[in-house]
Amino acid sequence: MSKPTISIYDTTLRDGTQGEGVSFSVTDKIRIAESFDQFGIDYIEGGWPGSNPRDMAFFDEAKKLDLKHAKIAAFGSTRRANLSAEEDPQLQTLIDAGTPVVTIFGKTWLLHVTEVLRVKPEDNLQMIEDSVRFLKSKGREVIYDAEHFYDGFRDSPEYALSTLEAAVRGGADCLALCDTNGGKLVSEISEMTGAVVSKFPDIQVGVHCHNDAGVGVAVSLAGIDVGATHIQGTFNGYGERVGNANLTTIIPNLSLKMGYPLNCEPHLHRLRELSRFIAELANLSHDIKAPYVGLSAFTHKGGAHADATKKVSHSYEHVDPTSIGNKQRVLVSDMAGRSSLLMKAQELGFEIDRNSPETKEIIDKVKELEHEGYEFESADGSLRLLLDRLTSQRKPHFEFEGYRVIVEKRSPDEPTTSEATIKVKVNGEPHYTVAEASGPVGALDHALRKALEKTYPNLTELGLKDYKVRILESKQGADAKTCVLIESGDNGKIWGTVGASDNIIEASWQAIRDSVEYKLLLDEREAE
């Protein structure tokens, strides 16, 4: 028996923005909606019209979109107790939003009916039925979100089911059961969702779960397992408190593990790209530990694991990483063995002989440097340059001869200034330059660029993306050794470099030097 196609309902643009630190401009929301449509998401919940000017502006702009697949949904609530559906301004705002789909929530839990709405239970049922019927009369597809359904069902199964019956009488197209508090476990969701599916065999049932108990994905999938065919969530798990059920995990699980047809299945290889795109628009770091789409999702560090993965990739990888747009990575560290190094070298475009004596020397050198504080896990650029130096396969683009840094503050009210002097040789010709900046690291960077840019004008493309300092051996206090990690990039390429020293300026210099040298190496390889 073939499995039904599961409808994916994304609420990143509404529920996701309730998460701490998450905010999208109207332009951001339009770009995300277009990307969701291209990816094959079925429903895009754009916001609550009338709740804020940004959501209203989004729905105005969304009317101009030429979406090929996805349907935009406006979100709201049932009518007020003292108004008819036709008189309720909030319901009228939902109609004015002009979306083909409207999602409204209503009260399911008697506690909310009597203590929050403060209406009679039978009046709440009428509010649900009237609101759905009114929206259907205006030609809308209506998804009914049963707020706090699972709490309400545990408290009074009869009343919780009666609220769904009211929505069905009104003509609802889908009943979405909400674990609004996010505290239910798999067995509870399975039992209660199964009861609803049995009660309403002729109407689509959905699940809307949160991650407060850390099982948002698991309980959502449990709902599908017992017959739900509509699933709601957000990309990257953004949402109120600890977040909503994460669609970037749910989607590949449904498709790759559970075998359910999805309309986004043909585009699954773009999942990681889309996840990163949304994180960038939210101005948040992408979660490197995220299942499937995180940078570390298919990363191997231990030598034995890397060796096994090289021989049989699925021995330590539960799916093919390319199926969701990710890739296999190998980290070289003091845990690395011969296989780890060979795989990493190949990833960096560098070929070394597995059985050559120098391979063991390279491994020993990497472990020695890691012991001294260098961390190559996030510093592919420095590792590639180290391999070059240890095998003498190429000469550096410049020779370093020395630097001097002066930090000065002349009075309490004046800003601190830094001056760096640097000596390098390029093609045997000496260059001696001076540069200033507010800080010593910036001054060093400016001085080095100044010395090299006449010979290597492409260095103007190089940009510093991130700068991190980690204190090693903290018991030494201000004299502790430091590790500096720099992330640099140009024209879409990003790489990391590292330095380590008991002098933070020296550690920074090492990372800056490698960053510049790696940029020149990339340019050289492109030219070749």
Render pLDDT for 94-141 as a digit per residue (tens, 0 to 9). Answer: 999 999 999 999 999 988 888 888 889 999 999 999 999 999 999 999
* Predicted confidence (pLDDT) per residue in 503-517, tens digit: 999 999 999 999 999
pLDDT tens string 342-364: 666 666 666 666 666 777 777 77
Q: What is the pLDDT of residue 312?
A: 47
Contacts of residue 240, Cβ cutoff 8 Å, sequence gap at least 6: 15, 18, 19, 210
H helix and E strand count, the chain? 17, 16
What value does the mean pLDDT take over residues 276-297?
Answer: 87
CA distances from 508 to 187, 408, 440 (A): 53, 19, 9
398-455: CATH topology: Double Stranded RNA Binding Domain (3.30.160)
* Per-residue pLDDT, 132: 97
The reported pLDDT for the residue numbered 411 is: 87
Largest separation between any pair of C-alpha atoms in the chain: 90
CATH, domain 7-281, list 3.10.20.30, 3.90.50.10, 3.90.70.10, 3.20.20.70: 3.20.20.70
334 pLDDT above the threshold of 50? no
Residue 162: name the closest of 479, 99, 170, 189 by CA.
170
Report the CATH architecture of 373-392+463-528: 2-Layer Sandwich (3.30)
> Which amino acid is residue 170, in one-letter code?
G
Instruction: Write down the domain spans for the chain.
Output: 7-281, 299-363, 373-392+463-528, 398-455
Q: Shortest CA distance to 131 belongs to which of 92, 182, 188? A: 92
pLDDT band at 76 (very low <50, low <70, confident <90, very high): very high
Burial of 428 (0-12, 13-18, 19+ CB in 10 A): exposed
Q: Tell me which residue of 77, 45, 247 sits closest to 145, measured CA to CA.
A: 77
Percent of the chain with pLDDT over 70: 89
Q: Look at residue 512 in the predicted model and tell me its pLDDT.
A: 93
Q: Are 5 and 228 a contacting pair, CB within 8 Å?
A: no
Write out pLDDT tens, residues 260-281. Answer: 999 999 999 999 999 989 988 8
Specify the residue for token string 């101009």: 64
448-487 pLDDT, tens digit per residue, is: 999 999 999 999 888 888 888 887 765 555 567 888 988 8
Query: pLDDT tens digits, residue range 6-39?
Result: 999 999 999 999 999 898 989 999 999 999 999 9
Three-class secondary structure of residue 404 per DSSP: strand
Residue recorded with tokens 């509870």: 188
Domains 373-392+463-528 and 398-455 share a fold: yes
